Amino acid sequence: MFLVHLRPDLVTPGSLAGTTAVVIDVLRATTTISAALANGADAILPCLDLDQARQRAEQISPRPLLGGERQGLKIDGFDLGNSPSEYGPDVVAGRQIVFTTTNGTRAMSAAADARRVLLGAFVNFSALLDVLQEDSDPIHLICAGTDGEITQEDVLLAGALSAELVERGRQPANDAALTAIQAWQAIPGENLVRALEESRGGKNLLKLDLQEDIDSAAEQDRWPAVGQLDSCAMSIQMLGNRPAIADEENSS
Ligand code: MLT
């Protein structure tokens, strides 16, 4: 069985023990992390706030990259922002990345009680479903939302995953799962970019002139790497073998 949570705070406290959680922040944290892992990053080290991120980076040798955003923008003194295109193989291969974003890293922390925490995006859609197929635990799809509000981009991915899970014999166990499936089925597949543009997260990115990030986030299976959070170490590593990235264009 599986459930959808439209915001992290809607997860019933204590209900994740013994389950698999999938954290969803399509625009852009889980998309960017999938890109970084597919492009060879060793590990992503999520941090909730800037001080924690800077301190953690100082304690690691060789020095990790610092990446993430506040109000969508690269943080002062950080190496990278939160655009997938910044996480190409030339930059991230073999590196650890200390990473903090406004909503995505908070949602990861909210999911940390689950037996297993995976990261979901359209860019790793099929790879994630392959992992879930082998997992018999209850699944919780947790939408990160934006600034405490439900966001359409995350609900659409939760709906797309839910529809596939139903196809594969899993039962939806809450109404939010049914709502997410209906939201997903209401948009024709070719209109995903438009639906992301109209979403709360999408509008924020358009204001920052980051259409390219919306386009990347809508590319199903572009970066087929599934990140798994080690909640004790607060470290995200890629499950399985690194995918072959077909050409230079795929890597940026
Ligand atoms: C977040 O985690 O809040 C988002 O990824 C924000 C963003 O688009 O940069």
Task: Tell me the per-residue pLDDT of 179-212, one tens digit each, with 9 for 90 and over.
Answer: 999 999 999 777 999 999 999 999 999 999 999 9
Residue 247, pLDDT > 70, answer: no
Q: ∠57-59-65 over CA atoms, to 5°?
A: 25
For residue 214, the CA-to-ligand 1 centroid distance in Å is 12
For residue 167, the CA-to-ligand 1 centroid distance in Å is 30
Model pLDDT, residue 246: 53
Which numbered atom of ligand 1 lies nearest the CA of 107?
2
Which numbered atom of ligand 1 lies nearest the CA of 104?
2
Region 46-53: what's the mean pLDDT? 95
Q: Would the CB of 25 count as within 6 Å of ligand 1?
A: yes
Torsion of CA 102, 139, 238, 159, to 10 degrees: -60
Residue 251, pLDDT > 60, answer: no
- What lies within 8 Å, CB to CB, of 117 at 6+ separation is 20, 21, 22, 23, 108, 111, 228, 229, 231
Q: What is the DSSP letter of 168?
A: T
Q: ∠199-208-35 over CA atoms, to 5°?
A: 75
Residue 213, pLDDT > 60, answer: yes
Confidence of residue 12 (pLDDT cuts 50, 70, 90): very high
Q: Are 197 and 191 in contact (CB under 8 A)?
A: no
For residue 25, the CA-to-ligand 1 centroid distance in Å is 7
Residue 65, pLDDT > 70, answer: yes
Q: Supply the mean pLDDT for the chain.
A: 94
Q: Would the CB of 104 count as within 6 Å of ligand 1?
A: yes
Q: Are 226 and 129 in contact (CB under 8 A)?
A: no
Model pLDDT, residue 245: 63
Neighbours of 97 (CB within 10 A): 26
Q: Would the CB of 116 count as within 6 Å of ligand 1?
A: no
- What lies within 8 Å, CB to CB, of 49 at 6+ separation is 100
Confidence of residue 252 (pLDDT cuts 50, 70, 90): very low
Burial class (CB in 10 A: 0-12, 13-18, 19+), 200: middle
Region 72-89: what's the mean pLDDT? 97
Q: Would the CB of 72 count as within 6 Å of ligand 1?
A: yes
Which numbered atom of ligand 1 lies nearest the CA of 146?
3
Task: Tell me the per-residue pLDDT of 81-104, one tens digit each, with 9 for 90 and over.
Answer: 999 999 999 999 999 999 999 999
Confidence of residue 250 (pLDDT cuts 50, 70, 90): very low
Model pLDDT, residue 19: 98
Reported pTM: 0.95
